[in-house]
Structure 1
Amino acid sequence: MLVHFRLTVPTDLTDAVREVLLTHDCATNVTVQLGVVARPEGDLLECDAAREGAGSLLTTLKRLDLDKRGGIVLTAPTGTPFLGARELEANTPGHPDDAVIWEAVEAKAYDGAVPTLSFLIFLVLAVVLAAIAVVTDSSVLVIGAMVVGPEFSAIGSACAGIALGRWSLVGRSLRLLVLSFAFAVVVVAVLALLASVTGMLTVEEVTRPRPNTGFIWHPDRWSFIVALVAGAAGALALAIERSATMVGVFISVTTVPAAGNLALGLAVWDRGEITGSLAQLGLNIAGMIVAGTLVLMLVRASWPSLMTTAERMFGR
């Protein structure tokens, strides 16, 4: 698996950047086009790099201040069916599936902390589904609400912010979590009140025993353990860009279902439902942030050595 580098380079940096690309062990297909960049004026240099070594190449380019004075664009080719690519990957330490490009992690983290309209809509829809799951005691709808919920992007952003020392990012992420959940819960609580007024919802439907969904507002030690495991898995998936694993995280932690139960508890003003839901919600978010941060710190500190050890133990 290769990463394509497209570099917009000021003329006075071209020779230095060209030398870096030609001498770096993980780079190939180096091309130089002089004077073709119109804005900002400069030269265009491109190369393909083994994903395992892309992070070190990017670090070297940033030491030349190319990220400040020029432009760096990374893309992932859909395929690289040539012998040189396979040889480059074989000769670069590590495996492409384990590669971490911290600049990409940081960029995703900042994107995940933005309070977009789509984030709020998805969260409201997820909490609506969760509330319906509570009323109907449907575990299937609970899973659906977990999948729709977008909250892990903000949780992952908080983890990355702590691990990378970007405290403004941490603040933005936590603010997004608090305000978005508060907004979604209030919206669904209002809808539940309207449903109660029109006879669609009764207090008994919310407070009766629910064998299939009662767990979402009864936090215990296992809730926290699940949150720790899910946070660790989600943070690792964020670092190595495993979207399929992220979906598994979405359906393992009861943040959104707890918010749905909280909204209904507020609508019928049942203190047990309210306090239990708040405890579950807070426990899950705290557990994921703690575990996710620890995993990202571990990856940042010792991931290359861990990859080397894994290769020795299990082979390439």
Structure 2
Amino acid sequence: MLHLRVICPPERSDDVLRLLDEQPGVAHLVRLPGAALRPAGDMVEADVAREAADETIAALCGLGVDRDGGITLEQIDTALSDSADRAEEQAPGDAADAVVWEELLARTGEESRLNGTFLAFLSIACLLAAVGVITGSTVTIVGAMVVGPEFGPLAAIAVGLVRRRWDLVRRAALALAVGFPLAMVLTAVGTVAGNAVGLFDTSALTENHELDFVYDVGPWSLIVAVLAGAAGMLSMTSAKSAALVGVFISVTTVPAAGYASVALILGHWGRFGPSLGQLAVNLLGIVAAATVVLLLHRRHHARNGPGRPLSKG
């Protein structure tokens, strides 16, 4: 279940309470008159079944609470209550299949921002991939996949496309457009420095045939990217974040970027181009699959439950 907190003007409290009391999937309804200071007003709290949260938030936004007050959601790990059990039974659908769009927008919006942390993680991941390529260490390549933060912006692009949030699409695209080139430049500089001090030579790539999959772009590259993109978006929409680790170590985005940087510096042009192609195929495949998953979610929701307006926030 999710914990819902609503701050609203006192004159709207009755409407909010009535709405929540009539909404299926709501339990533990509490009203605290005058408890809110900024913005001033009453505070209303309730626990909401995940599968009912999206419709509940839409109804509250219809009352203008998001403009004059505030709405927050928190995940509840454990709820011991017969009332909560009844609320989950009354809520339509299944919690694992429910998409809380506002939660998804907030999560992907935060992970898609171009900031120092994103650039640092992506650069470190590319450098790790370069080390793995040069040393022939598959474990290091896998580590680079896990460290890479690129799935956040890719998921944000998919959410933005489905919800027609072009600001989110632009922000996520900017993060990728700046992040990958910068990380690859830093990796290229590191490769030049390592080669200059004699850590490795131009034969580093030709001797590691077990890593050819990194730049060997083909149908399987797209298939893996599509499956990983679908699994990643399902993980985000169902709050099963543990599955994201499997997504991270399935796609060849960061390894391809790191391989391309090393190949460029060492003069392996026959591997530089295919590495960039591998990167592009994986990025596009992930976005396409994630978008399709969200479209199917929305179609299923529209067919089996009442619709809700697109978010403007």
Same fold (TM over 0.5): yes
> In the alignment, is residue 264 of structure 1 matched against residue 259 of structure 2?
no
Distance 1:143 1:102 in 2: 31
Distance 1:282 1:97 in 2: 31
Deviation at 1:63, TM superposition (A): 0.5
Residue 95 (structure 1) aligns with:
94
Residues 31 and 46, structure 1, Cα contact 8 Å, conserved in 2: yes
Residues 294-303 or 281-290, more deviating = 294-303
Instruction: Summarize deviations over 1:61-105 as a string: whole Å, max 9, x none.
Output: 010111111111111223111222122212222222222100111
Distance 2:171 2:75 in 1: 29
Counterparts of residues 129-278 of structure 1 (less than 5 Å): 129-206=128-205, 208-278=206-276
> In the alignment, is residue 72 of structure 1 matched against residue 71 of structure 2?
yes
Residues 76-85 or 276-285, more deviating = 76-85
Distance 2:42 2:197 in 1: 67
Distance 1:115 1:261 in 2: 23
Distance 2:187 2:22 in 1: 59
Deviation at 1:209, TM superposition (A): 4.2
User: Which portions of structure 1, spanning 4 or more consecutive aligned residues, are displaced by more than 6 angstroms?
Assistant: none
Residue 60 (structure 1) aligns with:
59
2:286 aligned partner, one-letter code: M
> In the alignment, is residue 296 of structure 1 matched against residue 289 of structure 2?
no
Residue 30 (structure 2) aligns with:
31
Distance 1:201 1:116 in 2: 33
Residues 87-96 or 2-11, more deviating = 87-96
1:177 aligned partner, one-letter code: L
1:298 aligned partner, one-letter code: L
**TM-score, normalised on structure 2?**
0.94
Residues 94 and 304, structure 1, Cα contact 8 Å, conserved in 2: no
Distance 1:212 1:11 in 2: 67
Residues 25 and 89, structure 2, Cα contact 8 Å, conserved in 1: no
Distance 1:138 1:237 in 2: 29
1:250 aligned partner, one-letter code: F
Residues 5 and 72, structure 1, Cα contact 8 Å, conserved in 2: yes
> In the alignment, is residue 20 of structure 1 matched against residue 19 of structure 2?
yes
Residues 30 and 47, structure 1, Cα contact 8 Å, conserved in 2: yes
Distance 1:177 1:39 in 2: 37
Distance 1:91 1:16 in 2: 21
Distance 1:218 1:107 in 2: 36
Residue 313 (structure 1) aligns with:
none
Residues 26 and 92, structure 1, Cα contact 8 Å, conserved in 2: yes
Residues 228-237 or 297-306, more deviating = 297-306
Q: Quickly say closer, same or farther: Cα 1:84–1:304, change in 2 above 3 A.
A: farther
Structure 1: 5+ residue stretches without partners: 308-316
Residues 6 and 45, structure 2, Cα contact 8 Å, conserved in 1: yes
Instruction: Summarize deviations over 1:214-236 as a string: whole Å, max 9, x none.
Output: 11011011101111111111122
Distance 2:231 2:187 in 1: 30
Distance 2:222 2:116 in 1: 30
Instruction: Summarize deviations over 1:237-287 as a string: whole Å, max 9, x none.
Output: 122222111111100001010011011012223211210110000011011
Secondary structure of 1:75's partner?
strand
